[in-house]
Amino acid sequence: MESLVTWYNQTIGTWMPKEVFVLLVSMIPLIELRGGLVIAYLLRMSFWSSNLFCIIGNVIPIPFILLFIRRIFKWMKERGILTGFVRFLEGRAEKKSKGRERGEFIFLWLFVGIPLPGTGAWTGALIASLMEFDIKKASAAIGLGILTAAVIVNILTHFGLGYLFGIG
């Protein structure tokens, strides 16, 4: 994350506000809110603005994934566009969704909320869409998961990074 912050400071930081940068970074799969909050912390953004922009950035792609990803994947497979990649994503979503029968809402909330590699709002939305979860329940669970992840990452960032490295 430090290299991304250095890159930002040396290149686009002169004309792009850090809030916009953090919002955009939080929209990227695999980085999402979790990486966005660390970057915001390293950029010395205020606690409230960093959380606001990271949460907004993480939420923006979710409705599009929930509503359109199955149609996009179908279209891609029909035309032979990245078919192997689409099948990989579908298989990954199915594999990650094991255990959902116990409760879709709790499963999705915890899956999105616990910041581990391979989890997050993007993957949660992909699972919800491909497994045909109720869209309202899925949206609420993903939203709650994003807020849960924000709390956990804030604690780890502010108390972990701050104390270990004297940042902040």
Same domain flag for 139 and 155? no
What radius of gyration, in Å, describes the C-alpha atoms of the chain? 17
The confidence score (pLDDT) of residue 106 equals: 92
pTM of the full structure: 0.86
Number of folded domains in the chain? 2
Mean pLDDT of successive 10-residue segments in the chain (168 residues)? 90 96 95 95 95 98 95 92 87 72 85 92 93 92 97 89 56
The confidence score (pLDDT) of residue 101 equals: 58
Same domain flag for 77 and 106? yes
3 state DSSP class of 166 = coil
> Which amino acid appears at position 48 of this protein?
W
Residue 52's domain comprises 2-59+150-165
Same domain flag for 85 and 51? no
The confidence score (pLDDT) of residue 17 equals: 97
Same domain flag for 39 and 106? no
Nearest to 161 by CA among 15, 42, 13, 26: 42
